[in-house]
Each structure stands twice: as C-alpha cells, then as structure tokens.
Structure 1
C-alpha cells in the first residue's frame, strides 16, 4: 500500500505542477488560499476582542497561527485519506483530480513568472508607468519614482524570493509529508503575507506567524539558491557563472534583513552579475538595505529576461529533483 501511495504522490505532483503551468490561479474556481485567507481574517477578528495588551496580542497571534495551520493540515489529511482509502472507481478518480487541484494551489510558478514578465516587458517597451503599476502588485515597497534600473532590480528580487516561497518550498514539503504538509506550508505562508508585518497593527499579533514562516522557509530558501546556481550552469554552460552564483550566495545571503530571502537573491545576483538590495522606501519611510552581489559596471543594465529564464529553469530543476527523490523513496 505504501508503494502505491508513493506512486500516487508522484502522479499528483506531476499533474499539479503542469496544471499550475497551464492555468495558474483560475479566477472562476474557489482557490484554497483565498479560503484560508478568509479563515485567517475571521479568526483575527475573533481573537482581537478578548486580547488587548501587547502580551495578550502575542498570545492571540500564537493561537491564530496554531489554529490555522493545524486546521488546514487536518482538513487536507482527512480529505487525502478519504480519497485514497475510501473511494472506489470513478469516485476515486474524481477525488484524485481534486487532490491534484489542491496540490496545484500550493504552487505559484506560472503566476510568479507572468507577474515578473509583465514588469520586464513594460520596461523594455519604455512604458515606465505601466511597469510601476505591475511592480506595485508584487512588491511591498513604494514604486513611485523608480526608474528603469531600479524597477528591473526590484522585479529580480521578488522573482528570486518567491521562487522559494511559491515553488521550491511547496515541493519540499510535498516530498516530506504529501499534500497535508504542503497545504500546511501554504497556510503558514498565507499567514505571514496577511499578518506578518512589523507595523503597529501586527507587531504583536503577527509575530508568531512571521517567525513560523522564517522557520518553514529556512531550508527551502537555501535549496532555492543552490538550484539557481545549478540552473545558471545549465543555462550558460559556464562553471565560472555557477561558481560566482554560489560564492555570492555564501558571502551575501546572510546580509538580507530576512533570514531566508537573501540566499536566492544573492544566488541570482551572482549569476547575473548585478547588485540587488540597497535603499528602498516603504510607506514613505526610507530603509537602507545592504547591497547583495556586485555590479559589473555602474551603467550595467540587468539582463532581466535571463532572470526569468533562470527562475523558470530553477522551477523545473526543483520539480525533476523532487520526482527523483519520490522515485528513490519507492525503491525497496
């Protein structure tokens, strides 16, 4: 039975990845992440009422994180077991297709690449206004006033960071614990995106969610950096480029304010010969971020389409390595 389940896991992963590449997030369908988001909003409202002091808000934040993640994990676990062990015939086939849809909802390769490509194409066409609008949809910084080079760099940063969050981490947790753990990771990631802010409203309530997201992404972020370095070798057929990517990741990955985001960013910066990071404005407040990577020349324009190619290739590389690991686990 275990061998059959591993085969089914491999099939689900293959179909889920290609379903995501084909459809992305289909608007007409009820997306599980949106349902998780509505649950987070409802729980936040309920927990804020009885908890008012900073210490109590931290407790409420821990309850919020535990309740959301455990609920999503248990729901996915029960659905998976019901489909695989209780349903028969066509009902089982329909159930497996539903599991594929759930697994695809944890992956965001198509949406990530599409969002990055919109920004880059607008820049290439010289439409900075449209580029800023598209960029503002995928980054948290202020985009007004950003010029060509800064827009491209910001797009590269979010492409590399979200490669880990939206592609490699779901693969990692799917391998470790199947659909339930992948869904639980998506719940953690959604919690962080909704309440994990260091502002007055969420400083205490979102603390637990932000820390949990840091822990959950610790290994996937570093794997993402290694995959970018490997993909740079496959793309450029150059050991030197791969070495530069690895060297920059090891040297600069820890410079980022986030304990995880710097590693894929640094790997991409090293592969493309650009400098990422630096000063950025958030809600009118200037933040001085350390620079990651080293620019070739002062007027060097980042090879933005190569960033898309590297992230796409890293996604496929991570996918195929995931299948190999699942296959090896099936061996007696």
Structure 2
C-alpha cells in the first residue's frame, strides 16, 4: 500500500494534468467512439441493452489489457522501485482529491466575494442541475453534496480496487465510472443503452460507499464535528438517496455539520424533489464547503492508514 500512499501524495501535490493524453480522457474517447458505432436510436430496448453491454465489455477488456500490458512491460526491467513509481503515477490518474478540493475552494472564494455570477457558472461545471437561479445556500449545498459523493468514486473506490487487484483493476473501476458518467442516464437516449453501465457502477460502489460513510463519521470525531449526529443521520437517511450509494457519504456529512442536504433541484427547467438528509440545525453556508473538504481529506488518509495496516497484518500472517 506504499504505492497507494505515494499516488495520493502525487495527486495532492500535482493534481490531474489537463491533457488530452490523460488516461481518463482517452477512456472517454474510446467510449464515445464505440458509442457512435454501437448505438442505434431505431433499435428495440432489448437490442439497445445488448449493445450497451457490448460497449461495457469492450471498454473494460481494452482498459484492463492495456494497463496490465504496461505493468508487464515495466516488470521486465526487474526493478521493483521503478515498478512502484510507475504504479504510483498511474494510480494517481484514477483518484482526484486535489481536483475536488480545488473546485470547492474556488466556489468558496466566489461566494465569499459575493460574485454570484461566477459562482453559479462554476458550480454548473460540477453538478448537472440548473444553476442560474441558485442562491449562496443552494450553491453551498450543491458543492457539499458533490464533494461528499465524489469522495466515493473519486478516491475510496479506486483505492479499494487497487488494494484488491492492483493498478489494472483500479483502472477498470475508473472505466466503469466513466461509462456511467457518459451513458448512465435515465433519459430517452440512454435509458436502455446505458443501463448495464449504470448497474455495474452501482455494484462496484456498493461497499466503498458504505466504507466512506463510516470513515466520514470517524473523520467528524477527529475534526471535532458532531460524530454522534453523523452516525445517527447516516443510519436514518442514507437509504433516502435515489442512488443506492450516494446517501452514505452525504448523510454522514450532513449529520456531522448540522445541515440538511437534498431538496428541490431543477434539471432542464423541470423541478424535482430529492428526499432530505440531515436536520437543518444550521443554515447552509460557504464555510460548509471547507468543512467538507477537510472531511474528505481526513477520510481518505484514514482509508490509506487502515488499508496499510491490514496489508501489514496480512503480510505478517502469510510469513
């Protein structure tokens, strides 16, 4: 797990490079290209699901074989230090703590400066809802929800799958997550074509989401937030989220910070209600964004420490 710690450090210091050669960008291009070939608007729902399943298989197999091939080539040098360095750099592409924190801090700055035009514009980069009429509290809510939920698929999940199956499996997870973000929508185009991608994403995030919820409770204790309330709201409200996994992170954060997440969101002009999580003991404010970022980093470091401890125990047991 030294590799995972190194990868986290690399991302925390350098962050994701904005490049067309970024592995996740390349996976996205692969998905888009295959979608153009496999998707047919005139196909029956059954055939659209089959085509979507073929898309998933092709993307995951190609991703695994490519990353595994790279690691095998590096292994031919017989240099364990070089192998670890390459693994750490590759793994750093699958996690995004710095990007999450940077987005949150940028919005926090705009809100403090009362630059609502920029705040509404930039929050639209990280959420799918309509943002042109959001006030400071709603922008804070959207940002807190995004950071909390993306702690799962942007940090804990890829690190967990790395612990299970190395860098290739971490990239397979990232490919699934990218598939879900591109085709896993319940709209006319993707309702059937993207269904398998969305289901696999739900399955792979099931355990990491629950781990993240518990880590947030522990983080609340460490940071001096209300960990008891975090645990209470986690148990009470996590299942209310429309996603089988999204509520675990959001509910525990809401409880810890004495805020209420969820509520009314507008998508393409249509207002939808999402069940509330947490109790509105305090009004949502920009400060909640910074508190959530602290919880995100604390939960991530806790996961690395615990994972390393488990790895050491298992290694000693094997010896």
> TM tier, shorter chain?
over 0.9
Q: Structure 1 28/210 Cα, relative in aligned 2: closer, same or farther at 3 Å? A: closer
1:223-282 CA deviation, whole Å, 9 max, x = no partner? 11111110000000x6xx111101101110000111100110000000000000011011
Q: Structure 1 246/113 Cα, relative in aligned 2: closer, same or farther at 3 Å? A: same
Alignment equivalent of 2:277, drawn from 275, 292, 315: 292
- Confirm or deny: 8 A CA contact 1:57 1:205 kept in the other structure: yes
Structure 2: tracts of 5 or more residues without a match: none
For 2:38, the equivalent position in structure 1 comes to 47
Task: State the Cα RMSD in Å.
Answer: 1.8
Report matched runs for 1:59-74 at 5 Å: 59-74=50-65
Aligned residue for 1:217, secondary structure, equals helix
The whole-number CA distance in structure 2 between the counterparts of 1:60 and 1:230 is 43
Alignment equivalent of 2:191, drawn from 198, 203, 213: 203
For 1:88, the equivalent position in structure 2 comes to 78
For 2:307, the equivalent position in structure 1 comes to 322
- Confirm or deny: 8 A CA contact 2:108 2:287 kept in the other structure: no
Kindly state the Cα deviation for residue 316 of structure 1 after the two structures are TM-superposed. 1.5
For 1:242, the equivalent position in structure 2 comes to 227
For 1:6, the equivalent position in structure 2 comes to none
- Give the number of equivalent residue pairs: 316
The whole-number CA distance in structure 1 between the counterparts of 2:269 and 2:109 is 27
Report matched runs for 1:156-305 at 5 Å: 156-236=144-224, 241-297=226-282, 299=283, 301=285, 303-304=287-288, 305=290
Alignment equivalent of 1:30, drawn from 21, 37, 48: 21
The whole-number CA distance in structure 1 between the counterparts of 2:135 and 2:202 is 31
Aligned residue for 1:221, secondary structure, equals helix
The whole-number CA distance in structure 2 between the counterparts of 1:28 and 1:94 is 24
Kindly state the Cα deviation for residue 329 of structure 1 after the two structures are TM-superposed. 2.7
Alignment equivalent of 1:138, drawn from 119, 126, 129: 126
User: What's the TM-score, normalizing by structure 2?
Assistant: 0.94
Aligned residue for 2:28, secondary structure, equals helix
Tell me, yes or no, if structure 1 residue 117 matches structure 2 residue 102.
no
For 1:7, the equivalent position in structure 2 comes to none
The whole-number CA distance in structure 2 between the counterparts of 1:40 and 1:26 is 21
- Confirm or deny: 8 A CA contact 1:58 1:206 kept in the other structure: yes
- Confirm or deny: 8 A CA contact 2:157 2:208 kept in the other structure: yes
The whole-number CA distance in structure 2 between the counterparts of 1:109 and 1:300 is 23
The whole-number CA distance in structure 2 between the counterparts of 1:317 and 1:93 is 25
For 1:126, the equivalent position in structure 2 comes to 114
Higher mean alpha-carbon deviation, 265-274 vs 14-23, is at 14-23
- Confirm or deny: 8 A CA contact 2:259 2:281 kept in the other structure: yes
For 1:104, the equivalent position in structure 2 comes to 92
